[in-house]
Amino acid sequence: MSLDFGIVIFAIGFVFAGLATISFKIRAIANKPAWGGITLPFGVIGFIALAIGVIIIAANRG
């Protein structure tokens, strides 16, 4: 049960990190400040969710 939860949190973090990357590239191509808009919040949420997911998965693999 807890391993499944960790995998879901990891996947959510992966999606948010991907959205941050896409937003960064689109804003850079559009000649806007690349770190503006939703890029930074998506990146922070993605990083935190990825880290929490990895910790949960690692705690249940032992």
CB distance 29 to 48 below 8 Å: no
Tens-digit pLDDT string for the chain (62 aa) = 889 999 999 999 999 999 999 999 999 999 999 888 899 999 999 999 999 999 999 999 86
> DSSP string spanning 13-58?
HHHHHHHHHHHHHHHHHTTS-TTTTTHHHHHHHHHHHHHHHHHHHH
What pLDDT was estimated at residue 35?
Answer: 84
pLDDT of residue 42: 96
Instruction: From residue 27, give the alpha-carbon distance in Å to each of 11, 17, 24.
Output: 24, 15, 5
Rounded CA separation 56/36 (Å): 31
Query: Global pTM?
Result: 0.87
